[in-house]
Amino acid sequence: MVGSACPAWCFGRALRRAVHPRPRLPRRRMTARGTLGGHRKTRIYGRLDCPTALRAIAKGGYVKHRVFFADEAAAVAAGYRPCARCMPDRYREWKSRRRKCEKAIQRGGPRLSCGNT
């Protein structure tokens, strides 16, 4: 679920209320897990209020590469990895999973499902 159609003018509102581009989702889902944002070039996803993302937006270098995900499953399925800054736990999980996967491939062993392929 990618919200690339989100126009630049609504971006600030999306950050504050996290309702765009899916305003019909129940509020509960918006607060507990939120809608995730991602960067199309770096393939990193994170929270909409991520400090790193906000800084990049302030510099004007982020918005045009921005995509939105309904949830983490959608982000992972699209090949994105968690942001180290705003999702450190997820990022650590992702890193150790990837390390295991790389080792297994180097040994020529069974290809683990690591979510990075």
Residues of this chain that interact with Zn ion (CB under 5 A) are 46, 50, 52, 83, 85-86
- How far, in Å, CA of 80 to CA of 76, rounded? 5
Given the complex with Zn ion, which of 93 and 102 has the nearer CB atom? 93
Closest distance to Zn ion from the beta carbon of 92 (Å): 14
Q: How many other C-beta atoms can be found within 10 angstroms of the C-beta atom of residue 38?
A: 26
Nearest distance, CB of residue 64 and Zn ion, angstroms: 18
Q: 3-state class of 80 per DSSP?
A: coil
φ/ψ of residue 6, rounded to 5: -60, 120
For Zn ion, give the closer residue by CB, 20 or 46: 46
- Judged by CB, which is closer to Zn ion: 91, or 104? 91
Q: Which residue has tokens 């390390």? A: 99
